[in-house]
Amino acid sequence: MSFWSDLFGIKKGGSVIGVDIGSSSIKVVQLRRQGGTAVLETYGEIALGPYAGAEVGQATNLPADKIAATLKDLLRESNVTTKNAGFSIPFSRSLLTLVELPRRADPEEQKTVISLEARKYIPVPVSEVQLDWFIVPEAIAEGVEHSQKVKVLVVAVHNDQLTLLQKVVGEAGLESSFYEIEIFSTIRSVVDEPIKPVMVLDIGASATKVYVVERGVVALSHNIRQGGQDVTRTIASAHGFEMAQAESLKKEHGFGNNKAPYDRKTIELVFSRIFDEARRALTKYETAHQKSVTTIVLTGGGGVTKELAEYAQSFFSIEVRVADPFGKTSAPAFMRPVLQEIGPEFAVAVGLALRKLEELG
């Protein structure tokens, strides 16, 4: 999928791109700043399956050179005109954990305590990861005895993932000033509630990520080991379709009409498991924190499934909506219906590009 940039009237200079390398596809979004507005210049998506000898929609595990070659094809097809990029880090190659640590009055001593204590919560040798952390605002860290403890979000990223990304950036001829865990990019592009908790359901190809976000902080993260490719595989096996055909039919029909050449119960089979587990995670969070989540936002490739929000709504007693990350950009009015339809797939790429624009000032 790509949209030719000349329809947007691209001007070189001051443009940035967000590059989201997922398990089944790569997405790019190019923005520029015009006044105080983020202007959409071009975007594109390319499936990784064919580059791995697999079908469109299937999860892959390609080496850096293959990813870079695929990305270069996408940049060319999408008419990307800048090298100034930000890249995502998959949630599966990172670790987020919220911990309580001793409070210290001296800021420097506090940093030392956190640096030493945080290592205890990383399930791999510290030499294998890059470690970072930040203190959670006290408005969120309720229930903590403030004179004794402080809540800290500990973040770790596998070194081999950073090495892979660095190789991809170099071989694709791009320049990247940062690598960001995908959830933070998603928060930037789709979470507008500044205070109350919001749940994000990111339905990827191989897994679904569940996050509860409060005041911009990830208060809960949970991984469900089923995603869009499981839906495709179920349709294919139940009706004798090839994977590529099942993927295409899923995107065309979803839950949305009676003309689909598969039984609706087939597609419900996997999504019901995903939403059941997400509901349990939601209940666990609300019980532990004594707070109510206000909204559920659907993102990721699975989020574009027709009528998915309506089906999800039957599992939850709160509002379920489909993410619209392109709503934070300026684009031609005639493109809005298309951008709203594909938006969930591009939440990470839009969030990355928005951060790059912030860097430019």
Q: What is the 3-state secondary structure (H, E, C) of 261-280?
A: CCCHHHHHHHHHHHHHHHHH
Q: What pLDDT shows up at residue 109?
A: 86
How far apart are alpha carbons 134 and 238 in whole angstroms?
Answer: 48
Tally: H helices and E strands in the chain: 10, 14
The pLDDT value recorded for residue 149 is 82
Taking the CA atoms of 234, 201, 179 and 84 in sequence, report the sign of the dihedral they define: positive
Angle between helices 243-253 and 228-239 (to 10 degrees): 110
Q: Which amino acid belongs to residue 292?
A: S
| Beta-sheet pairing, 217-224 with 208-214 | antiparallel
Domain locations along the chain: 2-92+160-228+267-360, 93-157
Alpha carbon 24 to its chain centroid, in Å, reads 13
Tokens 């493109």 found at? 335
CATH 3.30.420.40 fits 2-92+160-228+267-360, yes or no: yes
Kindly give the parts of the chain with pLDDT less than 70: 1-13, 138-147
Cα–Cα distance between 312 and 271 in angstroms, integer?
8
DSSP class of 55: -
> Taking the domain 93-157, which CATH number applies?
3.30.1490.300
Q: What is the pLDDT of residues 17-48, one digit of tens each?
A: 999 999 899 999 999 999 889 999 999 999 99
Whole-model pTM: value is: 0.90
Q: Which helix (H) or strand (E) holds 3?
A: strand 2-3
| Whole-angstrom distance, CA of residue 51 vs CA of residue 30 | 24
